[in-house]
């Protein structure tokens, strides 16, 4: 027997059917990599992200006290988890404690959306642990909750880029308007310290080609909240720098068109151009520059991905082995992925609901 969620979103069953696993719920969600538009997307400019092959699994079981991987769960250290738990627990009592166990191959704090994947997978697992046919979440509701959790952790400045990509999978396009040639999925709004932002979220299925993404990890941790605040401070000090944000927006639009046409040479070119502006904005680092320079001779294009300051760069390439070797020789640790992979998946749910009053 399997328990399953009846809800579908745009024909996309998020939690279609699942296996049973005693008193546990397990869900997984993919890492993401931004091809165009990081930072600018926080200010409403378009951006494109890809769900990667690398994933994270969250398994939850009932427990006497809250823990994550054997350590106490501290609200200050895990603000997104704290936010999600309280958002999904609808009763007035304190949420029943759970033991949360996280596994997977997404490097943490490296710009690949590990915290969004954790929020999304945890959201799916929590939902399964209290699921009945009325309350199960669809992908819109799930990515919305995960987005609010990310915004809480990023002082109110978070685009829905990471959480939408991790929820929906494939290739996700965010824009301030509905984009032609993409499948519109939902609208997202957030009140940020700089005012209300609205994003239209789409998915895109570009023509297939034999291209790969090689991610190069600098091993340097730079928190997203810090990097996002750095850009906000630069704009406050010099409001004219909004032109750099807008320039990233027009490159994203050009890159999106190239993706829709299956013109991967032009996609790579736009990625490299996008990087130059990010560098100028002050969000690159010496380590990122070294890995990007190493990748470029065998790649169609390369840039930092995510919030920068450290973390990862990404190269689009037809020669993944050569590009990966060049990045490793320059001191980076690499991951290789094809473009577009499945989104949030419920792997197993409990025989009986265990997370309710």
Site residues for ligand MEV, window 59-78 (CB under 6 A)?
Answer: none
Query: What b/e string do you get for 31-47 counting C-beta neighbours within 10 Å, with b at 16 or more?
Result: bbbbbbbbbbbbbbbbb
Query: Which range in 14-22, 154-162, 213-221, 313-321 contacts ligand MEV by CB under 6 A?
Result: 154-162
Residue nearest ligand MEV, CB atom distance: 159
Comparing CB distances to ligand MEV, the nearer of 199 and 212 is: 199
- Least CB distance to ligand MEV at residue 55 (A): 17
- Return the structure tokens found at 14: 């998020």
Burial-class residue 318 by CB neighbours within 10 Å (0-12, 13-18, 19+): middle
Angle at 116 between CA 307 and CA 93, to 5 degrees: 135
Query: Which range in 13-21, 156-164, 255-263, 291-299 contacts ligand MEV by CB under 6 A?
Result: 156-164
Residue 201 in contact with ligand MEV, rule: CB under 6 A: no
Strand partners, 57: 28, 103
- Return the structure tokens found at 139: 């992908």
CA 250 from chain centre, in angstroms, equals: 22
Task: Tally Cβ neighbours within 10 Å of residue 48.
Answer: 29
Residue 158 in contact with ligand MEV, rule: CB under 6 A: yes
Transcribe 39-104 into DSSP letters: TGGGGT--EEEEEEEEEEEEEEEE-SS-EETTEEP-TTT-HHHHHHHHHH--SSSPPPPEEEEEEE
Residue 159 in contact with ligand MEV, rule: CB under 6 A: yes
Residue 307 in contact with ligand MEV, rule: CB under 6 A: yes
Q: Contact, 16 vs 4, CB < 8 A? A: yes
Instruction: Give the residue, chosen from 306, 309, 320, 349, that forms a contact with ligand MEV under the rule CB under 6 A.
Output: 306
Comparing CB distances to ligand MEV, the nearer of 79 and 306 is: 306
Residue 38 in contact with ligand MEV, rule: CB under 6 A: yes
Instruction: Give the residue, chosen from 39, 82, 144, 275, that forms a contact with ligand MEV under the rule CB under 6 A.
Output: 39
List of residues 6+ apart from 107 with CB closer than 8 A: 114, 217, 312, 333, 335
Residue 3 in contact with ligand MEV, rule: CB under 6 A: no
- Least CB distance to ligand MEV at residue 221 (A): 14
Instruction: Give the residue, chosen from 228, 259, 313, 347, that forms a contact with ligand MEV under the rule CB under 6 A.
Output: 228
- Least CB distance to ligand MEV at residue 63 (A): 31
Instruction: Give the residue, chosen from 129, 166, 224, 334, that forms a contact with ligand MEV under the rule CB under 6 A.
Output: 224
Cα 5 to Cα 229: distance, rounded to the nearest angstrom:
39
- Tell me the C-alpha to C-alpha distance, in Å, between residue 126 and each of 69, 120, 225, 285, 317: 16, 10, 26, 38, 38
Residue 146 in contact with ligand MEV, rule: CB under 6 A: no
Residue 215 in contact with ligand MEV, rule: CB under 6 A: no
Comparing CB distances to ligand MEV, the nearer of 111 and 170 is: 111
- Return the structure tokens found at 270: 């736009």
CA 110 from chain centre, in angstroms, equals: 11
Residue 85 in contact with ligand MEV, rule: CB under 6 A: no
Site residues for ligand MEV, window 102-121 (CB under 6 A)?
Answer: 111, 113
- Least CB distance to ligand MEV at residue 224 (A): 5
Angle at 46 between CA 248 and CA 148, to 5 degrees: 120
Site string for ligand MEV, 280-299 (x = CB under 6 A): --------------------
Comparing CB distances to ligand MEV, the nearer of 159 and 284 is: 159
- Least CB distance to ligand MEV at residue 47 (A): 7
Cα 208 to Cα 205: distance, rounded to the nearest angstrom:
8
- Least CB distance to ligand MEV at residue 237 (A): 19
- Least CB distance to ligand MEV at residue 69 (A): 23
Which residue in 14, 123, 22, 13 sits closest to 348, CA to CA? 22
Residue appearing with tokens 């642990």: 129
- Using CB under 6 A, list all residues that contact ligand MEV: 34, 38-39, 41-42, 111, 113, 158-159, 161-162, 224, 228, 306-307
């Amino acid at each position: 027997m399997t328990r399953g969620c009846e809800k579908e979103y745009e024909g996309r069953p998020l939690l279609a059917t699942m296996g049973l696993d005693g008193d546990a719920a397990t869900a997984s969600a993919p890492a993401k990599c931004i091809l165009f538009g990081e930072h600018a997307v926080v200010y409403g400019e378009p951006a494109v992200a890809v769900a990667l092959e690398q994933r994270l699994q969250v398994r939850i079981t009932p427990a006497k006290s809250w823990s994550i991987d054997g350590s106490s769960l501290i609200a200050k250290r895990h603000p997104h988890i704290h936010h999600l738990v309280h958002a999904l627990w609808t009763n007035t009592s304190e949420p029943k404690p759970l033991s949360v166990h996280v596994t997977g191959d997404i490097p943490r704090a490296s710009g690949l959306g590990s915290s969004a994947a954790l929020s999304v997978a945890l959201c799916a697992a929590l939902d399964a642990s209290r699921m009945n046919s009325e309350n199960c979440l669809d992908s819109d509701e799930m990515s919305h909750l995960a987005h609010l959790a990310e915004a809480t952790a990023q002082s109110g400045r978070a685009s829905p880029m990471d959480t939408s990509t991790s929820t929906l999978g494939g290739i996700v396009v965010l824009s301030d308007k509905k984009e032609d040639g993409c499948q519109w999925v939902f609208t997202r709004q957030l009140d940020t310290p700089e005012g209300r932002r609205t994003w239209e979220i789409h998915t895109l299925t570009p023509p297939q080609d034999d291209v790969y993404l090689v991610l190069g990890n600098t091993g340097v941790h730079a928190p997203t909240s810090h990097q996002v605040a750095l850009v906000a401070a630069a704009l406050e000090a010099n409001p004219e720098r909004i032109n750099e944000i807008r320039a990233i927006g027009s490159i994203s639009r050009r890159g999106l068109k190239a993706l829709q046409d299956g013109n991967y040479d032009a996609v790579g070119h736009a990625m490299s151009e996008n990087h130059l502006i990010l560098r100028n904005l002050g969000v690159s680092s010496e380590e990122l520059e070294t890995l990007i320079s190493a990748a470029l001779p065998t790649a169609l294009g390369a840039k930092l991905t995510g919030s920068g300051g450290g973390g990862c760069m990404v190269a689009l390439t037809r020669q993944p082995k050569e590009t990966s070797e060049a990045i490793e020789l320059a001191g980076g640790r690499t991951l290789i992925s094809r473009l577009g992979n499945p989104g949030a998946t419920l792997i197993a749910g409990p025989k009986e609901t265990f997370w309710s009053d």
